[in-house]
Amino acid sequence: MRPDSGELLQGTLGILVLKALLAGPAHGYGIARWVEAATDDVLRIEEGSLYPALRRLEDRGWVRSEWGLSENNRRARFYTISATGRAHLRSEAAQWIRYAGAVTRVLRAAPALA
Q: What number of other Cβ atoms are within 10 A of residue 36's Cβ?
A: 15
Q: 113 and 104 in contact (C-beta within 8 Å)? A: no
> Domains, the chain, ranges and CATH?
13-108 (1.10.10.10)
Question: What is residue 9's predicted lDDT score, i.e. its pLDDT?
Answer: 58
pLDDT in tens, 5-56: 445 555 689 999 999 999 999 999 999 999 999 999 999 999 999 999 999 9
Question: What is residue 17's predicted lDDT score, i.e. its pLDDT?
Answer: 97
CA distance 50 to 63: 13
Of 84, 92, 47, 36, the C-alpha closest to 64 is 84
Q: pTM for this one?
A: 0.86
